[in-house]
Structure 1
Amino acid sequence: MSVFTRLLVALALVSAACSASADDLVARGHYLTVAGDCDSCHTARNGAAFAGGHVVPTPFGAITAPNLTPDHETGLGGWTAEDFYRAMHAGKGHDGTSLYPAFPFTSYTKVTRADTDAIFAYLKTLPPVKLAHTEPALRWPYSMRSLMGSWRLLYFDEGEYAPDPKQSAAWNRGAYLVQGLGHCNECHAPRNTFGAMVTEPFLAGGLVPVQNWYAPDLSMGPNGGLSGWTEADVVALLKTGRSRKGTAFGPMADVVIRSTQHLDDADLAAMATYLKSLPERGVPRQRESAADAADLAKAGQKVYAEQCAGCHAADGRGKGTAYPPLDGNSSVVEPTGINAIRIVLSGGFAPGTVANPRPYSMPPFSQTLSDDDAAAVVTYIRQAWSNKAPSVSPNDVRAYRSIPGG
């Protein structure tokens, strides 16, 4: 073989290796966009994937998610990997403007440069779509982007995730996914008046802004929202949308459909390992039950026997994997009662997943139950068996009757 021929072979091998490496980077980037659930915000209903246009409601007004396709005029076509990392890590746009925290850069700052480069490499392979960005429709004074400087000083801690050498590789992987790319705290935490997350204690549960669902506390220890759950229960819920302890409804069902069901088992197990380590919670301060709570619960027991026990069993333990238990169910005993009210009124629709393609769903009872009856049965299931949550009132039911379920 001549020197020239050997050189051609060497160049071909290098080219093939580079191509394989590039393919691996793009594939990893695709996986990471799924782990980050990027599609849910950056794809409008019936729109092109990642082309933006989806309106994200906030308590301060509406923000339209931008175009992430590589269109040069309206998307990421003119961006560099450095620009993309700065957006993820520092919450700064292509032109240096401060991004609003509806884009969860407060969590994404923990994502490594290697992972943001992979995500960017994947996004650059998408078909470019021309879809101009719409400016946020925020109320004054929130429309003054200059105020973000003060907000960032108060509420934003920039920095990639730093592994804890005292913990296992699985724990660190789970912490990285939960704290960073999975941005779980964006829903599972209360927020202050300015929309900033209250992070102590971490993942302690909170009302999802505007959507009016309560995302439960994720501690699996005593008094935690997932008390009594095992790591296998967590993995099952994230993979299939259901577990022996409960079923994903509302916004979490969408997360399972778009994101967590597609993650590999090792990552799901790592997330469960991390959640298992969250500290136990103190005894929660519950709002007082209504004065007539005992009468409500008594009336609710009758409604439950007639309408609910056939599926969820008289003892509240559910039936197999089809009908979830209500005893100890985090959606039943969460502090506000919102989730149980909404599911009773509008039904509960579990996500269809690869592992559970035809889930059982709960029919709506808004046309069957009066406000008094709905309040009674919700109060009953929140106080029956081992449950010790406060009552809800007919006024609480009226407040959520007009809101669609999910």
Structure 2
Amino acid sequence: MTFPVVGMIGGGQLARMTHEAGIPLGIRFKLLSDTPLDSAAMVAGEVVIGDYRDLETLRAFAEGCDVITFDHEHVPTEHLRVLEADGIAVRPGPDALVHAQDKGVMRARLDEIGVPSPRHRIVDNPADVTAFAEEVGGFPVILKTVRGGYDGKGVWVVRSEADAAQPFRAGVPVLAEEKVDFVRELAANVVRSPHGQAVAYPVVESVQVDGVCDTVIAPAPDLGADVSARAQQLALTIAKELGVTGHLAVELFETRNDDGTPGILVNELAMRPHNSGHWTQDGAVTSQFANHLRAVLDLPLGDPRPRARWTVMANVLGGDYPDMYQGFLHCMARDPQLKIHMYGKDVKPGRKVGHVNTYGDDLDEVRERARHAADYLRGTITE
């Protein structure tokens, strides 16, 4: 039997790291990328340059692939249905993926299955936003375009009816949500295979800066066992009910109930490897990337348990210091256990160009090591 061919649509860093996870297994990897300079296109062996929005490009790309999976969630679901009709395994399938593409569809489905979420409504104009705000206790409220947003893009905090005009200029439906007074942000990462096997990683704390993930701590510090189990079970339930195959990241708000007990609300879904799971490359027995591949190929899933008491991932963002390679000497000498993962991207201010992982028994020390390395590589500190 020949080894399978995994077709990955999208050439970003998630595809790059998924490809890396497949190399030891002998899995052949075929990539559909926007440009030859995309992160994964620079390392994958078989690269097709084309537009994922064009059906005939997708059909030609899928020839010879045993399964199609994704670096992002933007491929039109109607095109994916055609691929399925052609006999191609698409994982996750379009019926699941639409819930990660369209926030309105996601909220409606999560309501149906009883998943706790922020109060929300599709709104048509600024006056609708004001009416919604009155229902949830007043401004500010959150507005999101139902499609296309990521890393804080397509999301607005509006404090008045006058502030609410801009989101409607995009010409797509707008979702209004209450602004949740949360304690912190969490993420529950799970993986599910076609035959229903599923595994759950430890629930992590995700620290956001300006709408972009900055640091992930695994497991989330001071999270009660009952809340952790509830979050994992919630993510597993969502994966099952939505028919997800592969990796699912459930972004959560930890809240405080009126009686002082902790609560959780679902913020967003991602049906692919996720920034909140990058720590698993060095901190878990089986990484999210390896388990995503195992799932889409319907192989037995790997052990998701952590290797160390604490693992911290810090994103490396671009700054005004483009020659990050020069920083390796200092960072590696200072911390021989440090794991650096760079994406091969051009360095631009604020752009995710890599991440670092640290691990150990002392959380304060592990956090400091990760933060120092990320800041040094960016050039914001010099010693």
TM over 0.5: no
| TM-score, structure 2 normalization | 0.29
Whose strand fraction is larger, Structure 1's or Structure 2's? 2
Whose helix fraction is larger, Structure 1's or Structure 2's? 1
